[in-house]
């Protein structure tokens, strides 16, 4: 007797179980938050596409507010969807929705105003060509190669960005080439720097994996031209050169990331810089992952600037020649896609100019903040 053309007692063929979807490398996160596996669907002629997203809210309280700012804020920090094609020679990435870019030592900017005045509802989106196994070419709205902190809150160890991050750019319009050779990864980009619309910036990144848990990276960029105009997304730093050296250790429950940064805005009267100035800074970012979905992150940093006010030096911090340090502590709970995290931070200015720091008259040295962010990653 035959059943389904297989003799009774014969070995039944094993059923092939498709592999479970894995989290995607984009959008990147430094931890502790982790993106869940994507929803995968067939898009016909476009092939298989992946979709993920994040929805989160933010509450913030602060002392010694900057002029025009408020002591309490309640807002949406992310309402974004990420659609991407990750296979074949032709790929793409689209990131759309609302977002906030909170940063220490600066006035809070509402999400609706951030989307309108910074990078619109499509902050990141690019086409990606893969002509060879380890080579890719990107064109469009690209996350910057500069710095050790990523653009959006959910991507970083802490809710708010740090003082060093304030000196770099966030999103570039341009093209980028990536290549990987063994443990060495390299990227080179021609772009518009601080979203200036003038394609005069060249940025690059070199990363080398010393072993499975230690990586060193060097990032650099600069304006090969000059930009005389200034606005919210294109500050005087669009005329700068910036260099970062980053070390990352990821082992067991620890993520350790110290980095050093140097920036220089050279004298250029045609660009409105009568006397140039530079910044030097260092930061240490840490995360320890406990059991039962809990983790604790922290950041300590110090940055100083050069120049003298009576020499008409450009102001890069809290007056020419000023400096500042900050300390941040961020406990986090995440269970699958649901997360909640708090944050406690202090910024303290040094060598500042009168009226250039915190409080209603800009005379207070310190600013304290507390924040809570909660949401779901899907």
- What percentage of residues in the chain have a pLDDT greater than 90? 91
Quickly state the pLDDT bin for 311 (edges 50, 70, 90): confident
Q: Is residue 339 part of a domain?
A: yes
Q: Can you give the CATH number for the domain in which 230 is found?
A: 2.40.160.10
Tens-place pLDDT, residues 285-297: 999 999 889 999 9
Q: Tally helices (H) and strands (E) across the chain.
A: 1, 19
Average pLDDT, the chain: 94
Long-range contacts for 309-314 (Cβ within 8 Å, ≥24 apart)? 309/353, 311/275, 312/274, 312/275, 313/275, 313/276, 313/277, 314/236, 314/265, 314/273, 314/274, 314/275, 314/276, 314/277
Buried b (16+ CB within 10 A) or exposed e, 308-331: eeeeebbbbbbbbbbbbbbebbbb
User: Could you tell me if residue 143 is inside a domain?
Assistant: yes
In a domain, residue 6? The reply is: no
Domain-embedded: residue 2 = no
> Which tokens sit at 194?
């601080």
Please give the C-alpha separations between residue 263 and each of 158, 203, 260, in angstroms, as whole numbers: 23, 13, 10
Residue 43 lies in a domain: yes
Long-range contacts of 96-100 (CB under 8 A, 24+ apart): 96/121, 96/122, 96/125, 97/53, 97/121, 99/123, 99/152, 99/153, 100/58, 100/75, 100/76, 100/153
User: In the chain, how many domains are there?
Assistant: 1
pLDDT at 14 exceeding the cut of 70: no
User: What torsion do the CA atoms of 36, 32, 113, 244 make, to the nearest 10 degrees?
Assistant: -120
| 211 is a domain residue | yes
Distance CA 283, CA 261 (A): 9
For residue 8, the model assigns a pLDDT of 41
Asked if the model's pLDDT at residue 26 lies above 90, the reply is yes
Residue 8 maps to a domain: no
Q: Average of pLDDT values for 116-140?
A: 97
Exposure of 222 in the CB half-sphere (CA atoms within 13 A): 13
Domain limits at 372? 30-377
Angle ∠(118,115,57) on CA atoms, nearest 5:
130
Domain for residue 148, yes or no? Answer: yes
Its pTM surpasses 0.85: yes
């Amino acid at each position: 007797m035959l059943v389904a053309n297989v003799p009774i007692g014969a070995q039944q063929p094993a059923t092939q179980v498709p592999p479970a979807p894995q989290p995607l490398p984009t959008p990147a996160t430094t931890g502790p938050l982790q993106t869940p596996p994507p929803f995968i669907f067939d898009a016909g002629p476009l092939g298989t596409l992946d979709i993920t997203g994040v929805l989160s809210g933010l509450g913030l309280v602060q002392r010694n507010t900057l002029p025009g700012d408020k002591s309490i804020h309640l807002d949406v920090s992310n309402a974004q969807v990420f659609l991407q094609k990750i296979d074949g020679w032709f790929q793409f990435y689209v990131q759309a929705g609302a977002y906030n870019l909170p940063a220490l030592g600066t006035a809070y900017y509402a999400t609706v105003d951030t989307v309108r005045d910074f990078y619109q509802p499509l902050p990141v989106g690019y086409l990606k060509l893969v002509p060879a196994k380890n080579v890719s070419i990107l064109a469009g709205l690209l996350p910057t190669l500069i710095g050790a902190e990523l653009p959006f809150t959910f991507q970083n160890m802490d809710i708010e960005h740090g003082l060093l991050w304030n000196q770099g750019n966030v999103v570039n319009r341009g093209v980028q080439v990536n290549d990987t050779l063994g443990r060495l990864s390299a990227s080179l980009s021609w772009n518009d720097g601080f979203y200036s619309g003038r394609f005069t910036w060249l940025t690059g990144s070199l990363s080398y994996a010393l072993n499975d848990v230690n990586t060193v990276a060097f990032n650099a960029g600069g304006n090969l031209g000059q930009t005389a105009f200034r606005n919210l997304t294109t500050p005087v730093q669009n005329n700068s050169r910036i260099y970062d050296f980053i070390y990352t250790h990821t082992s067991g429950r620890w993520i350790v990331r110290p980095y050093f940064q140097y920036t220089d805005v050279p004298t250029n009267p045609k660009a409105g810089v009568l006397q140039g100035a530079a910044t030097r800074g260092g930061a240490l970012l840490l995360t320890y992952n406990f059991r039962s979905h809990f983790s604790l992150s922290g950041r300590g940093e110090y940055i100083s600037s050069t120049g003298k006010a009576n020499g008409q030096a450009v102001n890069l911090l809290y007056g020419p020649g000023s400096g500042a340090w900050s300390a941040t502590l961020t406990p986090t709970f995440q269970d699958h896609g649901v997360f909640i995290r708090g944050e406690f931070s202090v910024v303290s200015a040094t060598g500042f100019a009168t009226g250039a720091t915190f409080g209603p008259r800009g005379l207070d040295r310190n600013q304290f903040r507390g924040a809570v962010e909660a949401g779901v990653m899907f």
